[in-house]
Structure 1
Amino acid sequence: MDKVKSPEESRKLLDKITFDLTRSIVKRDEFTNFWYFLLIIFALVGLWGWGIQIRDGLGVTGMRDYVSWGMYIANFVFFVAVSLIGFLISSALHLLKIKWSKVISRVAEQVAIAAVALAGIIIVTDMGRPDRFLNVFLHGRFASPIIWDVTVVTTYLTISVLLYYLPLIPDLALLRDKGTDDIPQWKRNIYRILALGWKGHAEQYKLIAHAMRILMILIIPVGLSIHTVTSWLFAATLRSGWDTTIFGPYFVAGAFVAGVAAVIIVMFLYRTRYGLKDYFEDYHFNMMGKLFVLVCLVYLYFNINEFLVPGYKMKTAESIHLSNLFTGKYSTMFWATQFFGLLLPITLMVNKYFRKPVPITIISVFVLIASWFKRYIIVIPTLEHPFLPVQNVPENFQHYAPTSIEIMITVFSFMAALLIITVLAKMFPVITIWEYAEEKGISREIISEPKK
């Protein structure tokens, strides 16, 4: 924490911090309008494709009797993976009292909320009769792993929203009372409602801290469960490629890699777009880079483990599966994901230069793309090689290729996730104002005092 300042200096510094961190809220130009237009148009195109799928059935997709999980489930696993970053940054690092994570925590929660919300929507798009989704809640049986997944996804989304909202309350009160004149009145009205009458009393801060600590502890088992349960949907089968006991920690490690990459990209976009170079500092990117290397190394270990053990035993089905990945149809995709998603990032980010904002953001883009293709590789090749011979079926039943409808709905999912993140950034500060002000030595009394 910085040294204690005089009240007048503290007020001036608080005004500057408030002005800077509300830039995302008040900035509206032609690029903003174009960005909204782009996201909404692509999302509507995807919804149109979903309407065609509901009307004509899942036959409009590339999924058939053998490959019954296609691009949709790859999307689901990807979004669940990205959402896990909220647990890592906002909970684990906070409980370990790692101070640099505070600046990043709200970005991590934005990414987590958008990702887990779309994970739930993607499951519905994969259903031939989405109107029957309510039956999962009304008549579901906990003997079914699907119920486990729905339960943990819903719970994780709820806790993530609370972890985002609770530390936002003092900021909402601050913007309600002392926000810049550029903030529209309708937003101030929303802030007044959501602030819940916050006055900045010591008891209120204590209550927020207590509630946050409970949520940070609760989200740890829920966060681990959301991706562990997802891995069980695969591992609870006898299929080669899925029949393994390491899928739980393997999925969790991979989730941290994808989530860290997503947060770094969003951090860089905020830093560039809203002029937050003094807040998302080179130091934060450097520390995120070190965290990135750590989770990549853990994930690399599980990747080696995933293929070394079945490769050593080399059962017939495993031999076909591994050959298909290493030298067959999916070999290009497989080796590209390993190289651009793990080996190259680890090699580069060991060097401090590549942990600077621009290089690490470029690396994160490649890692995030590779993470999606990794999920595609987990889902599709295994389904194309069942134990029983594929015979007496049309040729298109034997192979899978996503159709234009699946691609449209996939684009919708990404555009919808970006739209959620954009709306949150335009409605609320992307960094917690009151926590950042406290780090700079500004007292809570000055933060909470009425505007003169």
Structure 2
Amino acid sequence: MNETASPVSRDIGVLRAGWQYASISDKIADLVLMRPVGLPWLIGFAVTLGGTLVLLGATAYLFMTGVGLWGINVPVAWGFAIANCVWWIGIGHAGTFISAVLLLLRQRWRTSINRFAEAMTLFAASMAGLFPVLHLGRPWFFYWLAPYPDKMNLWPQWRSPLVWDFFAIATYLIVSLLFWYLGLIPDLATLRDRAASRFKRLAYGLFALGWRGEARHWARHESAYLLLAGLATPLVVSVHSVVSLDFAIGNTPGYHSTIFPPYFVAGALFSGFAMVLTLAIPLRRAFGLHDFITDVHLDHAGKVMLATGALVAYGYATEVFTAFYSGDIYEIAMTQDRWTGAYAPVYWSMLVCNVVLPQLLWSRRMRRNALGLFLLSLVVNLGMWMERVMIVVQSTHRDFLPSSWGLFVPTLWDWAFLIGSICCFVWLFLVFIRLLPAISISEMRQLVRESAHG
């Protein structure tokens, strides 16, 4: 593609005019191979590494002491741990949706954001898988959740929601890892060929699996890529539906709801795309990627957030309507307690974050305002976390027996695990953008090639 070639159309919204085929490789690969480590990255790396060490220290103390150091008690057997698990697995949904569903739908605007969205999925799913394991009474026996050859015939308890979480998150993590790595192979070969040091050539070449860009390599790669996309697409619906069934199968007021599977999936995409914007906007600002992550990408992500936010608001309204329409005094009491009880500030703050403020996305100017979108994405992530806390905690702090009512008060250790997991997530992402291309080089080349041919 020469300098006079036609630019990519506005509907695609990926590159501006003037980009050459080779310059794409230079721009993206040099972020990994040539760009020096800056002071902001070092500060972020040091802070998040410190938070990760706090998480590791808290985990070690949990192993020695037990889950009694959390604020959980008799009526609230699930606290921050399960709320954090559901929140993290929801954040990871956007990566699978962008990578698999939009690929099958041939939405080419995904090309600029799918790579780091897939990495976000892996890191978020890893954080999500951590909390059910830590919630076990004896977490060092977590492998009992998996069916493994055992002479004593100790098999998993299939009626336990923790077993469902184990298989849902494990399947999600494995398929997402394979999908991410398969798309990364051509880019690893590009880094191998451009690396200056022998160590980098060997490292990238080892994981490139001998990729030489031959026609048969591309044919097999595209077939496998589409096959994994087809396998990953049902995970968008199935994984968080399984997580929602952890609650829906119970008869506890606030849990026992048939709206939970679609409601949880919509909420997962809502929070997931919010996290994509939370990562994409600083990324394009720090590395000057405005030609790749354009205002059109922000606009499309904002539209998806607006649509999924409307579904989440519908879920809230359905919960309230169903509670009063059913005539169940316990469901009605639970709903009224959300409005006026001890956790009412959390409930109303959640509605402001997830229902009221996202209405700003009706404005096209707001959807293309990077700073406004970044702040709104942070608000949405906070609101979705509060929603998980409301579902897990508020629904159980008053059960059927008034004699067992109580309040869940998070301890310092609850906050340490939450903040530590966030720091670990950001730390992994910072390491990722320094070692691997944050934007797919091969898919961006293909997009420019298609645009050059009309």
Query: TM-score with structure 1 length normalisation?
Result: 0.90
Please state if 1:414 is matched with 2:422: yes
Distance 1:425 1:390 in 2: 53
Cα 1:144–1:60 change in 2 (3 A) is closer
**Aligned-partner residue type, residue 298 of structure 1:** L
Distance 1:441 1:4 in 2: 14
**Aligned-partner residue type, residue 131 of structure 2:** I
Residue 117 (structure 1) shift: 0.8
Please tell me whether the aligned partners of residues 21 and 448 of structure 2 are also in contact (alpha carbons under 8 angstroms). no
Residue 45 (structure 1) shift: 1.5
Question: Which residue of 343, 347, 368 maps to 2:356?
Answer: 343
Q: Mean Cα displacement is larger for which, 328-337 or 65-74?
A: 328-337
Greater RCO (CA < 8 Å, at least 6 residues apart): 1
Please state if 1:63 is matched with 2:75: no
Please tell me whether the aligned partners of residues 132 and 165 of structure 2 are also in contact (alpha carbons under 8 angstroms). no
1:431 match: 439
Residue 29 (structure 1) shift: 2.1
Query: TM-score with structure 2 length normalisation?
Result: 0.90
Considering only aligned residues, what root-mean-square deviation do their CA atoms show, in Å?
2.3
Distance 2:200 2:419 in 1: 30
Question: Which residue of 167, 179, 204 maps to 1:163?
Answer: 179
Please state if 1:218 is matched with 2:231: yes
2:26 match: 19
Distance 1:113 1:439 in 2: 25
Please tell me whether the aligned partners of residues 123 and 428 of structure 2 are also in contact (alpha carbons under 8 angstroms). yes
SS of 1:197's partner is: coil
Counting only pairs closer than 5 Å after superposition, residues 25-424 of structure 1 correspond to structure 2 as 25=32, 26-137=35-146, 138=148, 139-179=155-195, 181=196, 185-345=198-358, 347-356=359-368, 357-391=370-404, 398-424=406-432
Residue 129 (structure 1) shift: 1.0
Cα 1:49–1:143 change in 2 (3 A) is closer
Residue 297 (structure 1) shift: 1.3
**Aligned-partner residue type, residue 154 of structure 1:** A
Cα 1:191–1:360 change in 2 (3 A) is same
Gaps of 5+ in 1: 392-396, 444-452
Please tell me whether the aligned partners of residues 350 and 384 of structure 2 are also in contact (alpha carbons under 8 angstroms). yes
Residue 416 (structure 1) shift: 1.3
Residue 244 (structure 1) shift: 0.9
**Superposed CA offset, 1:256-307 (max 9, x none):** 1000000011110110111111110111111111111111112221121121
Distance 1:298 1:62 in 2: 32
Residue 312 (structure 1) shift: 2.7
SS of 1:440's partner is: helix
Cα 1:132–1:297 change in 2 (3 A) is same
Please tell me whether the aligned partners of residues 23 and 274 of structure 1 are also in contact (alpha carbons under 8 angstroms). no
**Superposed CA offset, 1:322-349 (max 9, x none):** 111112222221111111222221x211
SS of 2:350's partner is: helix
